[in-house]
Every structure is written in C-alpha cells, then in structure tokens.
C-alpha cells in the first residue's frame, strides 16, 4: 500500500467497514471506509508529517544541559504557560555559532518529532538566532571575552601599498556597495563582489562562503578583502557576532577590512579584521590611502628627476660650448697667421721624420749585429749533431758520430774520430 504522506515510510493501517446507523443491507452499501492506525504507525506518521513542517520558534532557554549524546533544553513561551522540549545534535550545536545558556531569548529553527517510547514531542533544533537586546548583549560579551582570550583580536596586519584588486562581501542591493564604489578614487581598481545576505538566517553561511571563496583560488590575486554592511541594531548585526564568521575572518590569508556600521558595540568580525572602519565610505578612503606615498612623493620625485636632468643638460651644454669656443679661437689664430703656422707644421713634420729615421737606423744596426750569417763570414761555423740540433757541449758526442758543419759558403759532413775535453768540460 502506498504511503499516506510524501517522503515517509510505508504505513499499513488496519482498514475496516464501519456501519453508520442501524444495520441493514442499504446501510452496508453506503458504509464509510475508516483508516485505523496502530500506535507505532501513528507516531511514525506524526513524526514524518512534522519533519516536513520546519518552523522558527521563539522562546526563552531554560533547563539547559549538555550531554555526550546531545544538547537538551526547554523553550518557554514569554506570554503563555507553555513549554517546548528541544534537542540539538552535538555536531550541529558546535556549528551554531552561539553559546546557549538559561535565560537567553532565541529563535530556534527546526521541526517536531515524537519519541515513541514515551510519546513525547521534542523539537529538533537545526539553527539558532538570538533575539532580544538582553540575550544578544549577554552572548556578545561572553563570546567577545572568549575570543579575546584566544588572541583573535590582537593580530593586525598592514594593508599592502598600491591596492588594486579588491574582494567585496556584501549585498549587491542597497546603498552600501554604491557608497563604497562612489568614494574610490580613479586608480584602476578591480572589484570582485560576493553577493550575500547580511542579515537574517542566511547571512552567516553566505559570509563564510564568501570568505572561503576569495581565500581559495583568488587569494594570490587579491590585495585586500572588504566585508561591508550598513548600520543596525545588535540584532540586525547578529550574523557578524557569530563565532563561525569571526573565526573565518581571522583565518583569512588576505588582509581584511571590516566596514560594518554600529551604534555602540563593535561587531566581533570587525574586531578580528586587520582594519576596522565604521562605514563603507571610510573603507573606500582607507583603500585610497594605500596610494598616499605615491601621490605625496611623486611630485617631489618628478621635480628631482627633471631638475637633475636640467642641471646635467646645462653642464654638458656649457662644456660643449667651451670646447667649441676654444676650437674656434685656435682656428681663428690659424687663419690669421697661415704662413707662420705652415712653417711650424712643416718643421714639426721634418723633426718627427728625422727622429723616426734615426730610431730605424739604430734598430737596423742591432739586427745586423745579431745576424748569424755575419759570424759565419768572420770564420765561425755552426755544428749540428746526429739529431740535427746545434752542438753546445762535446759531451753530447761520441767517436764515430756524424756531424754537419755550416759555413758562410756552404756545409759539409764530418765524422768524429777523437774527443778532447778542456779543463772546464771535466
């Protein structure tokens, strides 16, 4: 038999004919069909039906207990004498971003479920929002103290100079993004927007997703990450006091600016940012200030470069002018006394020629004196041993060796018959 509700388990109730009025054949023909559940099936039916009816429920937390199997508490109605037993899975509770305690006013989002053993209705909590200034302030102070003790508000990284690529997390609708863009100076900024809700139940996952997106593949490209929204009450800014959002902001590899309007208490996300600004306009001015050194020093640097070039030009021009004037003076004198300068030039050339000829003659005499053929003409000869090398010592010969003798008129070959050594050759 098909299920009586979508998405539930198959229920097999007992079906019987019920007689209406007096028993008769006619009555039997018009009898109505009645569906009868067993207790177990009916409770399954109720739980399955309630699971399709997720709803927000507002109340005050009481009887709060943490247990290894889950988180148990009661929601009390502020106006009526009514209570709702609640249960939250430990994993879900760790990711709520809110520390619950007795007395807090909350909006719990979830669905009902009946535990069959006791027939008891319990609200299964999937998400929580704080409501009421008192509860929000109490949770804000507790979380602020906790995160401060962990050091999440102490690190303040400097923003890079000459910011150009900017990641923005805010809603694309409204005046926030327009105010930011309008106050940016024209410096070729590249803006990358992550559109998300900045208030309500969808704000927390949206902001977290934006931070993770920009810190993924775009982390090395972006210069700064700006999280923005307009002002509001503590309840309006609840998403920016969520522990999960604050920790994600602190974990950003990109330097961060928080521009979240506030009247009194600074949002915890802003305290975890590297730079805190009160408005989107102030955030834009902060980005513009990364160019301050260039805008302030560029005119002075430009002046120094131009002045240096001008001085160098004047120096070179003056030096070239002096040289030109000197050359002109010499040429002028030369043109005034052509005959005198002609004689002086001719004499200088004659003197240089005679000096070169004298040096050449001396070099010739040295070369001729060292010519081996001159010594041969004087009666000397050159002896070479069997190996063809010039003989310098008799010790390199032996009787019977053939030697060649070079004279000025020719050469001959002789054979050694006797070797005599003088006293110095011993």
Quote the pLDDT of residue 20.
39
Give domain status of residue 140, yes or no.
no
Give the pLDDT band (50/70/90) at residue 213.
very high
Quote the pLDDT of residue 379.
67
Residues forming beta bridges with residue 167, ordered by sequence position: 192, 225
Output the DSSP codes for 263-320: SSSPPHHHHHSSEEESSHHHHHHHHHGGGHHHHHHHHHHHHHHHHHHHHHHHHHHHHH
**Could you give the residue ranges of the DSSP H alpha helices within 52-202?**
90-94, 133-150, 175-182
Give domain status of residue 363, yes or no.
no
Same domain membership, residue 307 and residue 287: no
Same domain membership, residue 272 and residue 214: yes
Same domain membership, residue 91 and residue 184: no
Q: Which of 66-75, 87-96, 138-147, 323-332 has the lowest mean pLDDT?
A: 323-332
Same domain membership, residue 285 and residue 184: yes
Residues 6 or more apart from 383 whose CB is under 8 A from it?
A: 390, 391, 403, 404, 405, 406
Q: Which of 131, 155, 184 is the last residue of a domain?
A: 131
Greater confidence, 58 or 381? Answer: 58
Q: Which of 17-26, 102-111, 317-326 has the lowest mean pLDDT?
A: 17-26
Quote the pLDDT of residue 5.
34
Same domain membership, residue 159 and residue 228: yes
Residue range of the domain that includes 20: 1-52
Give domain status of residue 209, yes or no.
yes
Same domain membership, residue 42 and residue 90: no
pLDDT at 26 over 50: no
pLDDT at 217 over 50: yes
pLDDT at 27 over 70: no
Across the range 144-164, mean pLDDT stands at 94
Same domain membership, residue 45 and residue 73: no
Q: Which of 28-37, 42-51, 414-423 has the lowest mean pLDDT?
A: 28-37
Greater confidence, 315 or 90? Answer: 90
Give domain status of residue 357, yes or no.
no
Same domain membership, residue 248 and residue 195: yes
Q: What are phi and psi of 188, to 5 degrees?
A: 75, 30
**pLDDT single digits (tens) 89-137:** 999 998 887 888 888 888 899 999 998 888 899 999 998 888 877 778 8
Greater confidence, 43 or 78? Answer: 43
Mean of the per-residue pLDDT values of the chain: 82
Give the pLDDT band (50/70/90) at residue 31.
very low
Give domain status of residue 360, yes or no.
no
Same domain membership, residue 256 and residue 200: yes
**pLDDT single digits (tens) 334-361:** 666 666 666 777 778 778 888 888 888 8
Residues 6 or more apart from 36 whose CB is under 8 A from it?
A: 13, 14, 15, 16
Same domain membership, residue 213 and residue 242: yes
Give domain status of residue 253, yes or no.
yes
**CATH number of the CATH domain containing 231:** 3.40.50.2300
The structure tokens listed for 121 are 């209705």
Overall domain count for the chain = 5
Q: Which of 292, 308, 332 is the last residue of a domain?
A: 292
Q: Which of 7-11, 207-211, 267-271 has the lowest mean pLDDT?
A: 7-11
Give domain status of residue 371, yes or no.
no
pLDDT at 166 over 70: yes
In whole angstroms, what is the distance from residue 323 CA to residue 321 CA? 5
Greater confidence, 11 or 312? Answer: 312
Give the pLDDT band (50/70/90) at residue 22.
very low
**CATH number of the CATH domain containing 64:** 2.40.50.140
Same domain membership, residue 109 and residue 84: yes
Give domain status of residue 80, yes or no.
yes
Quote the pLDDT of residue 255.
97
pLDDT at 288 over 80: yes
Same domain membership, residue 261 and residue 171: yes
């Amino acid at each position: 038999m098909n299920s009586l509700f979508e998405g539930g388990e198959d229920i097999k109730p007992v079906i019987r004919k019920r007689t209406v009025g007096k028993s008769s054949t006619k009555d039997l023909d018009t009898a109505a069909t009645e569906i009868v559940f067993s207790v177990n099936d009916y409770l399954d039916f109720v739980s399955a039906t309630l699971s399709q009816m997720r709803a927000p429920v507002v109340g005050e937390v009481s009887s709060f207990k943490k247990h290894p199997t889950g988180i148990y508490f009661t929601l009390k109605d502020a106006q009526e004498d009514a209570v709702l037993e609640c249960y939250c899975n430990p994993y879900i509770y760790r990711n709520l971003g809110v520390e619950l305690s007795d007395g807090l006013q909350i909006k719990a989002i979830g669905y009902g479920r009946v535990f069959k053993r006791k027939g008891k209705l319990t609200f299964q909590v999937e998400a929580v929002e704080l409501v009421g200034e008192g509860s929000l302030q109490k949770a804000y102070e507790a979380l602020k103290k906790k995160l401060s003790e962990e050091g999440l508000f102490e690190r303040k990284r400097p923003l890079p100079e000459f910011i150009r690529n900017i990641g923005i997390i805010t809603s694309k609708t409204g005046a926030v993004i327009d105010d930011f863009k309008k106050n940016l100076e024209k410096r070729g900024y590249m803006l990358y927007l992550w559109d998300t809700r900045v208030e309500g139940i969808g704000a927390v996952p949206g902001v977290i997703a934006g931070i993770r997106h920009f810190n993924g593949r775009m982390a090395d490209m972006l210069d700064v990450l700006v999280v923005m929204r307009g002002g509001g009450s503590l309840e309006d800014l609840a998403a920016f006091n969520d522990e999960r959002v604050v920790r994600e902001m602190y974990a950003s590899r990109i330097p961060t600016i928080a521009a979240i309007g506030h009247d009194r208490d600074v949002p915890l996300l802003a305290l975890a940012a590297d730079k805190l600004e009160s408005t989107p306009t102030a955030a834009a001015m902060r980005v513009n200030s990364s160019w301050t050194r260039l805008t302030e020093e560029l005119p002075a640097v430009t002046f120094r470069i131009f002045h240096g070039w001008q001085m160098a030009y004047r120096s070179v021009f003056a030096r070239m002018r002096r040289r030109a004037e000197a050359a002109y003076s010499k040429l002028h004198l030369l043109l005034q006394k052509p005959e005198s300068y002609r004689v002086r030039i001719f004499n200088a050339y004659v003197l240089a020629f005679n000096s070169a000829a004298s040096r050449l003659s001396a070099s010739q005499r040295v070369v001729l004196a060292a010519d081996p053929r001159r010594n041969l003409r004087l009666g000397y000869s050159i002896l070479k041993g069997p190996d063809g090398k010039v003989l310098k010592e008799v010790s390199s010969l032996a009787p019977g060796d053939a030697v060649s003798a070079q004279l000025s008129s020719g050469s001959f070959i002789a054979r050694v018959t006797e070797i005599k050594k003088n006293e110095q050759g011993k």
